[in-house]
Each structure stands twice: as structure tokens, then as C-alpha cells.
């Protein structure tokens, strides 16, 4: 089946390029040597001439291996736990009583466990899952599985899938086109408006807007949350379109993050004794662009114990717990996600440290 979202024929317009990007922004490494040798790829964001969808035309799915060392969970944060609860309250509106829920790409199962704790009958799929819940299959979902679900959930999964419309079609077929699907992804609208160069990752081979996400269905409910950084789509699987219509909206102009890169490069030049808070994808991308030789930022702070005392891909910045701030001489903390600023300030509780957000 042809992938209508990419429509890899002539006429697609490249709108942004970036070289030597770590393949996995959410992997950290046990030694400096491993971090230094982390594999990289190239990003060429292109807009499909047929559909208007945005994708990385140089993405190579064969390079991607989401193993147990992959950590994209943020649930150590109270703020993110609030977001997970918000998402759960949102899907509860669709009445889960007596229903079977299937979460594809459930990660370390934080949202999955929240559903189970609230009495939801659910199964999950994810090769990176490390626990022992037999309701989670440690494998990538494929059409070999007969899932028979009333609600299918894809949270921060579809942006990693090379052929998203085909993938949803496989889900619909495996579920006999019954039931509903709930999709949560980052939004390109926020990246573009914010000039957030730190939010363009090799891992993300697709970039959605509410319009493009909803356009895969005849009828769909869409919305945004988490400070406008994420969007969602809810639809009946029977409403999935067999093809994506030719775009009707205008083309995206070439994207340049130059002014944003210059702004934050100047910040790093002017400030001293800097630490970055956040060893996730945003932090890894920011460091690989603006401090490749580890000359301006002393270290990275992250509250996830699985990331502490490890190293950022390629740049080899060490990752520590917040306790490392004590006696470190850090004067400035650059926070990778503005949603967490109040939580971080309260945790540090040091009037001698200045806080800044991307």
C-alpha cells in the first residue's frame, strides 16, 4: 500500500536540514566512550507536495532499535503526572466501563499502570518495557496480533512510525475496523511558532498539526494540551480514510531556526557556570547543536534515576541528580521545557541560582 502521507514522488519540498543528529535523543550512555560513538543520522524535513504532511525524508527505520536503554518517560515529574491524569480523564469521557483498551507503544507502562489502577481492562505493546506484567507484550505491534479492542491508544508513538497512515490502517484491520482510536503526538505548530530547534529529532520521522492528524479520518475530535506542545485526535476506526486527499491549505515556507540558535548561543557565551535541566530529547538536541565540545555547560540535571550518572549522546555531558548542584558553583540553570519551571524552582530552592527556559 502506498504511503499517502509521504507521497515520495518528485515535488516534495525540503524545509529544514540538520546533519549528524543522534539517532536516539532519549538514549543515554553508561560511558563517555559509548556516548561519543553514539550513532547519528541526517534530518531533512520535507513537506509532501500531495498532502502537506511533514516528514524526515532521510529517515531509515532499519537503524531504530527501541531497547531497554531507551528512556522517554517523564513520569518522575509531578507536573507530568498531572498531564497523564488529564489524558486519562479525557479518555474516560468516552466511557471505558466494561471496555478493552489496547495501548500500543506503552513504554515503561506509566500511563498503562494508571489505567489499570483505575480498573481499566487493558493490554499493551512495547519492546522497551522492562516490567513483568503479562498483559504487556514486549514486541512491536504488527498485524499478526488480533487485538480486539474497544479503544486503541497511541501516545507519543505515531511520530516514530515511518508510514503512519499505513500503521493505523494495520491497526484498524487487526481490530476489524471496530472501536475507537486515541492518538497523542507533539505538534509542529508549536515547534514552528516557538522556533524550537531543540524539538526536531531523528527519532521523530513525522510532524503533525491538528489539521494533518485529523485529516486521516472522515470525522475526528482534535485538541491540544500540555501548554500547546501536544495534540490529540479521537476517532472511530471505521472513519479512517483509505487515502489522504490532496492538501488544500498553503505551503509551508522554508524554516530557519537561525535566529533562535543565535539567541541561545549568545546566552551560553554571556553566562557562566551553567547547568541544563533535562536529559531528554530536548536537552540532547540542544547540547548537540550548541555545546558539542562540552565547553559551556558543566553538566545536565535529571530527576530520572535511570539517566543519572550516565552521559548524553555525542557530547558526553554527564547527567546528575539535583543533589549535584550542592557546592557545584552553578549560577544558571537552563530548563529544557518551560512547563516544569515552577516545579524545578521549588525543588532547587536556591535564591543564588538564576533560572531560564527555552
Question: Do 317 and 231 form a contact (C-beta atoms < 8 A)?
Answer: no
Q: Indicate yes or no: pTM above 0.85.
A: yes
Mean pLDDT of 311-326: 97
216 shares its domain with 311 = no
At 127, which CATH number? 3.40.50.150
- Is there a domain that residue 222 lies in? yes
**CA 42, CA 20: separation in Å to the nearest integer?**
6
pLDDT of residue 358: 95
Query: Do 274 and 348 belong together in one domain?
Result: yes
* 293 and 221 within one domain: no
pLDDT of 7 over the 70 cut:
no
Q: Same structural domain for residues 174 and 226? A: yes
As given in the structure block, the three cell numbers for residue 321 are: 541528580
Q: 224 is in which domain, residue-wise?
A: 78-239
**86 and 233, same domain (yes or no):** yes
Q: Quote the percentage of the chain above a pLDDT of 70.
A: 93
Does residue 282 surpass a pLDDT of 90? yes
How many other CB atoms are found less than 10 A from the CB of residue 342?
A: 11
8 A C-beta contact, residue 207 and residue 236: no
Angle of helix 78-92 relative to helix 341-348, nearest 10 degrees, comes to 150
Mean pLDDT (whole number) for 278-298: 96
Residue 337: pLDDT over 60:
yes
212, 106: one domain:
yes
CA distance 300 to 318: 6
DSSP helix, strand, coil percent of the chain (3-state; round to 5): 30, 25, 45
* 220-232 average pLDDT score: 97
Distance between CA atoms of residues 70 and 62, nearest Å: 16
262 in any annotated domain = no
Q: What is the CATH number of the domain that holds 348?
A: 3.40.50.720
> Three-state SS for 100?
strand
Residue 221: exposure state from Cβ atoms within 10 A (0-12, 13-18, ≥19): middle
Q: Is the pLDDT of residue 73 over 90?
A: no
Q: How many domains does the structure of the chain reveal? A: 2
Asked if the structure places residue 38 within a domain, the reply is: no
In the prediction, which pLDDT does 2 show?
Answer: 43
pLDDT averaged over every residue in the chain: 92
Amino acid at each position: 500500500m502506498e504511503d499517502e502521507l509521504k507521497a515520495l514522488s518528485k515535488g516534495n519540498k525540503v524545509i529544514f536540514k540538520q546533519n549528524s543528529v543522534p539517532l536516539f535523543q532519549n538514549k543515554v550512555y553508561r560511558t563517555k566512550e559509548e556516548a561519543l560513538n553514539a550513532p547519528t543520522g541526517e534530518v531533512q524535513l520535507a513537506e509532501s507536495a500531495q498532502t502537506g504532511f511533514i516528514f524526515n525524508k532521510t529517515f531509515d527505520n532499519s537503524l531504530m532499535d527501541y531497547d531497554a536503554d531507551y528512556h522517554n518517560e517523564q513520569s518522575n515529574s509531578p507536573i507530568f503526572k498531572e498531564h497523564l491524569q488529564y489524558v486519562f480523564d479525557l479518555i474516560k469521557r468516552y466511557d471505558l466501563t466494561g471496555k478493552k483498551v489496547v495501548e500500543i507503544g506503552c513504554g515503561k507502562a506509566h500511563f498503562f499502570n494508571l489505567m489499570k489502577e483505575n480498573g481499566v481492562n487493558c493490554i499493551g505493546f512495547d519492546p522497551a518495557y522492562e516490567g513483568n506484567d503479562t498483559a504487556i507484550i514486549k514486541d512491536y505491534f504488527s498485524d499478526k496480533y488480533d487485538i480486539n479492542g474497544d479503544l486503541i491508544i497511541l501516545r507519543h508513538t505515531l511520530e516514530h512510525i515511518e508510514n503512519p497512515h499505513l500503521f493505523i490502517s494495520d491497526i484498524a484491520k487487526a481490530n476489524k475496523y471496530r472501536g475507537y482510536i486515541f492518538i497523542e503526538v507533539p505538534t509542529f505548530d508549536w515547534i514552528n511558532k516557538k522556533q524550537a530547534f531543540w524539538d526536531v529529532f531523528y527519532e521523530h520521522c513525522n510532524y503533525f498539526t491538528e489539521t494533518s492528524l485529523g485529516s486521516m479520518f472522515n470525522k475526528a475530535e482534535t485538541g491540544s494540551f500540555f501548554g500547546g506542545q501536544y495534540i490529540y485526535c479521537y476517532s472511530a476506526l471505521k472513519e479512517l480514510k483509505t487515502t489522504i486527499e490532496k492538501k488544500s491549505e498553503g505551503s509551508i515556507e522554508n524554516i530557519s531556526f537561525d535566529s533562535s540558535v543565535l539567541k541561545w548561543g549568545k546566552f551560553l557565551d554571556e553566562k557562566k557556570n551553567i547547568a541544563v535541566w533535562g536529559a531528554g530529547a530536548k536537552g540532547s538536541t540542544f547540547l548537540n547543536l550548541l555545546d558539542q565540545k562540552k565547553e559551556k555547560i558543566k553538566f545536565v540535571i535529571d530527576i530520572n534515576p535511570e539517566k543519572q550518572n550516565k552521559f548524553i549522546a555525542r557530547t558526553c555531558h554527564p547527567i546528575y541528580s539535583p543533589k549535584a548542584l550542592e557546592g557545584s558553583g552553578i549560577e544558571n540553570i537552563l530548563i529544557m521545557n518551560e512547563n516544569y519551571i515552577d516545579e524545578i524552582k521549588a525543588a532547587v530552592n536556591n535564591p543564588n541560582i538564576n533560572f531560564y527556559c527555552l
